[in-house]
Amino acid sequence: MSGLLVAGNFYIDRLSKTGQSIGIFGPINMTKLEIKTEADSKIRTSKKKDSYGQALDDVKIAKPVELSIEFDDVPSELLAMALMGKVVDVNQASGNVADVAKTLPANQGWLELGHKNLASEGLTVKQAAVDLVLGTDFEVNYALGLIRSIKGGAVDAGGSITVSYQHNAMSGRAVEGGIESQVRARIFGEGENLANGKAIQLEVYESSLMPNKAIDFAASEFVSGGLTGTAKVVTGKNSPFLYTELDA
């Protein structure tokens, strides 16, 4: 006899709508991996004089297995699941823009130039034929490609300008969120029962999940996410999940 305290490496295999693997990622730092099994009672109640209201038969019928996970590892694939989205590749080529006409808003409002990840060198801003001075007449957010006038500068009230700049290449991964109605995934892993030192394995063959926690991008602590849903019995398996403790 022993207790159960698991240290485990768990992986997620996101599935397509047809149940095909999209890709396995992990191990994930799971802060919760909860499987809940319940049953409904079907009771035949006595109407007889001597046993009125008592159970004559009580049949337990298994309910769908509930699954709940929480995590504080947030790779793009898992973040997409928590935001009901999908991962797409980001590829922006570098380029140059010369003497493009823009209009600065009044009252020091920001203007989008049309590209992000601007190079800090080679950016020039003119009003008519006069060069404007960075830090005196205008300021720039290079990462977002934003420009605005500075109060007291030559374009304090906004107006027409021409801008030349270079934008650097960008590559990475982005999450298009809020577009998937459900998340389908296989969850599996291996580890150790720290109570007795035995190796364990756990696999949930397929589950239909949805987020149960908001993703707080302004949190003061590490961001965590959560998903909850139902484990399914898939073709060729006898149960929705399998837990194994190995003797050797």
Q: What is the pLDDT of residues 116-173, one digit of tens each?
A: 999 989 899 999 989 999 999 999 999 999 999 999 999 999 999 999 999 999 999 9
Question: Is 82 in the same domain as 133?
Answer: no
Instruction: Encode 93-124: b = buried (16+ Cβ within 10 Å), e = exposed.
Output: eeeeeeeeeeebeeebeebebebbebeeeebe
Q: Is the pTM of this model over 0.95?
A: no
Domain residue limits at 64: 6-41+55-88+175-246
Number of Cβ within a 10 Å radius of residue 208:
15
Question: Is 215 in the same domain as 112?
Answer: no
Question: Is 74 in the same domain as 197?
Answer: yes
Would you state the pLDDT for residue 242?
96
HSE, side-chain direction, 13 A CA sphere, residue 120: 1
Task: Pick the closest to residue 145 from 175, 120, 122, 172 (CA basis).
Answer: 120
Domain endpoint, select from 115, 133, 168: 168
Question: Is 37 in the same domain as 154?
Answer: no
